[in-house]
Structures are given as C-alpha cells and as structure tokens.
Copies of this chain bind each other. A is one copy, B any other.
Amino acid sequence: MNDGEFQAYLAEVKGKVEKEFPAIVSGLSSPKTLIESMNYSLTAGGKRIRPLLIFATLRAFGKEEEIGIPAACAVEMIHTYSLIHDDLPSMDDDDLRRGKPTNHKVFGEAMAILAGDALLTNSFQVLAQARHPDVSDSMKLRLVIELSKAAGAEGMVGGQVADMEGEQKKLSLEELEYIHKNKTGKLLSFCVKAGAILADAPEAQMEQLSEFSTHLGLAFQIRDDILDIEGNEEQLGKPVGSDTENEKTTYPALLGMEAAKEKLRFHIEKAKQCLRNANIQHEILEKICTYIEKRNS
C-alpha cells in the first residue's frame, strides 16, 4: 500500500462511518432540536482515527470491516460527546471547533449538555444492537464493558478531571502521562481491542496489540503538543500556541522540543515493534503509526 492508496483508504473509512450517521441520529423519535444538536457535532468532520483503528485491526486479522461498523459509530458518538462537553463554558469554554461554532454556541448550554448525554447513552445501544452473523452476544457484551471502562471514571472522564485539576500547575512527566493515557489513550486503545475482540483474536496477540495501542496513544498526544507549537493554523483548523498561552504542561514544555520529538519517535518505534511481534497482517496499522507521527492536523 503506497501513500496514495493509504490516503484513499482513509477517505474510504471516513465515508463508511459517516454514511451510517443519518440512520443513527436523524431517524430518532426525539424532539427535533435534540436531533439537530446531536447531528451538528457528529457530522462536523474530523479524521475518524478511531474507526480507522477498528477497521485496520480487523483487516490485520483478515476480517471484513463491516463487522466493525457499529463499534466505529459508537466510538465516534462517545468521542463527539466528549468534545461537546469539553467545549462548554464551565470546562474549556471554546467558541470554535474544527472552524465551526461549538455546539453550545449554536444550541445553548443546556441543549449541548443534553446532546452530549444522548450521544453517550445511545452509543451503547448502537454497540449492543450490532447485527452480523460473526458477532456473538458475548463479543458484544465484552465491547460494552470495554467501552464503558475506556470512556468512564477509570478512563476518559477520569483523564479529563485530572487534566482540569492539573491546569496552570507544573506537572511531572508521570502526571502528564496519566492524563493522556486516560483522556485520549484509553479510547484509542479500546478501538484496537474492539477490532481484536471482533476478530476473535487469541490472548497473546491481544496483549501485543494492547501494548501497541498504548504507545500509539502517547505518540498521538506528543504529536498534538508539537503541532500546538509548530503547526499551521489553517491545516489544524484551530489556533496554535494555546497550550503555551494557557501555561499548560506539554511534552515540549516539560522536555524541550528535541527530546519531545525523540520521545515521539521512541513510541512510534515501540508501537511498530509490537505489530511485528503480534504476527498479523500489520501493513495498514503500521501505516497508521507513520501517519500519526507525521500528521499536520
């Protein structure tokens, strides 16, 4: 798979997931404004990296991507709700997201909270109602458990709390890694695990993939921190320099830019090593590593 083919694959994945959203949201028997508010943020774009990880992991086990569509939609619903709530005035108080006004700017604060709540709640329905002959009840149940762990108090929400409490305070590297492992890492890891569960992967490969996804998640975050300094506002769709302005602890702030870049390369190399050890068809997953290492948005 060359770079052009990989870009085409990214676009294909995005299309496959976004094609499902109308059926998930627009068809709801719910008040119209709620549907509009959910839909506004769910369809606001984004790289759809989480679905990509689910699909690429399925591919690595020679499985068709269709198996992972409900999980991919569920995880995008969770990711979207977390952005809506993070942007609220009492949280990060952001007016823009991906170049568009944030949900509460358009629909008001109360509706934004409720749209987030609904996306979160309904994601479990989407996940549990997956219909594919290769997906058993016990697999779906494992996905529900893993998603709630990854997104809840011991995962994403816990990380968000730690991030909030760590603001304007100089954090240690250990504290910084705790935040990122939880706030973004665990949901990314869920995606890889979901692919492996749906592919009925053996335990040994699960472990390699779990280690892979931890390194990938940290790399993802370090790249994010670097982009906030060296990135291009237009490509990013958001202003650069906000971390420095808010005196946030980041990898470059803590380690210096060169060491941060070294750390990025380290985690990418480790992630690729895990892939080679896992003995799977890892071509696309490896491409994703490089993509995350080099991404500009």
Contacts and interface: CB of A to CB of B under 8 A. Distances in A.
Interface stretch (A147-155, A190-198, A279-287): A147-155
Contacts of A151: 121
Nearest to A28: B153
A223 to B, nearest CB: 25
Nearest to A151: B121
Given A110-B91, A158-B118, A141 B152 contact: no
Interface stretch (A29-37, A242-250, A255-263): A29-37
Contacts of A125: 144-145, 148-149, 152
B141 A128 contact: yes
A117 B114 contact: no
B153 A128 contact: no
Contact of A129 (B91, B111, B145): B145
Most chain B C-beta atoms within 10 Å of own C-beta, residue among A28, A128, A138: A128
Most chain B C-beta atoms within 10 Å of own C-beta, residue among A30, A88, A108, A129: A30
A137 interface: yes
B118 A90 contact: no
17 contacts: A28-B158, A30-B154, A30-B161, A38-B153, A81-B117, A85-B113, A90-B108, A90-B113, A91-B110, A113-B113, A116-B117, A120-B121, A125-B149, A128-B141, A137-B138, A140-B141, A144-B144
Main secondary structure, interface of A, reads helix
Q: How many copies does the complex hold?
A: 2
A162 interface: yes
A85 to B, nearest CB: 6
Given A158-B30, A165-B33, A153 B85 contact: no
Interface in A97-152: 108-111, 113-114, 116-118, 120-125, 128-129, 137-138, 140-141, 144-145, 147-149, 151-152
